[in-house]
Amino acid sequence: MSPLQTWGNFYVIIGSSAGALTGLQFVVMTLIAQTDRSRSRGEALAAFGTPNVVHFCSVLLVASILSVPWDSLRPAGVAVAVFGVLGVVYSVAIIRRAHRQREYVPVFEDWLWHTMLPVLAYSTVLVAGAALAWSPPAALLAIAAAALLLVFIGIHNSWDTVVYITLQTRSEPPPAPPASGASAAGEAQPSGRTPASPSPPSGAANPGGTAGPSRP
């Protein structure tokens, strides 16, 4: 039996779980879109929101690659290694986005889960894919551990984002009541009507160029 066939059930479970968990991030994005400051969080979303979807899709892709009935382990290892290279490059880009954004100040836990652990997972996939043809048992075990780590990274980061948005929304002060009084500046007009512009004075103009008093 091929070593890939022995891991078939594992990749079916983890691949389907990653595909289902991708919908979790859509819920997170919906919560962010409902906040008043959603338009000012573009860089933060690119650094801390979008990578979660990429991690879930990466697990789904790895599971798909290793579920293909390859004739030998070498092409499967090359495909996994190429994917690992792309993952490392993407992780470096995420680190640059996290440093560039000014909408949120990350703490150590954020750096650990959003930058360090993804680099570790994709680097493990790269090395294990390159060694798959020479040491299949150890390489497949390393790839499985890295894929499972990516799933947990996506779940943790999505949940952390939901908690942060919820706490930020509750901590925001309620809107101030409108000013009272007829003479208050900026008072809303009744029935949603806009104030009418004053009518121009009627009557013939005076010789001095100013409008004269209106006539009956």
Q: What is the pLDDT of residues 184-211, one digit of tens each?
A: 444 444 444 444 444 444 444 444 444 4
Q: What is the pLDDT of residues 64-101, one digit of tens each?
A: 999 998 989 999 999 999 999 999 999 999 999 999 88
Closest CA to 140 of 129, 151, 126: 129
Please tell me the distance from the alpha carbon of residue 139 to that of residue 174, in angstroms, as a whole number: 55
Please tell me the distance from the alpha carbon of residue 139 to that of residue 73, in angstroms, as a whole number: 11
Please tell me the distance from the alpha carbon of residue 47 to that of residue 54, in angstroms, as a whole number: 11
For the chain, the average pLDDT equals: 79
Global pTM exceeds 0.85: no
Closest CA to 48 of 86, 98, 122, 1: 98
Please tell me the distance from the alpha carbon of residue 48 to that of residue 115, in angstroms, as a whole number: 9
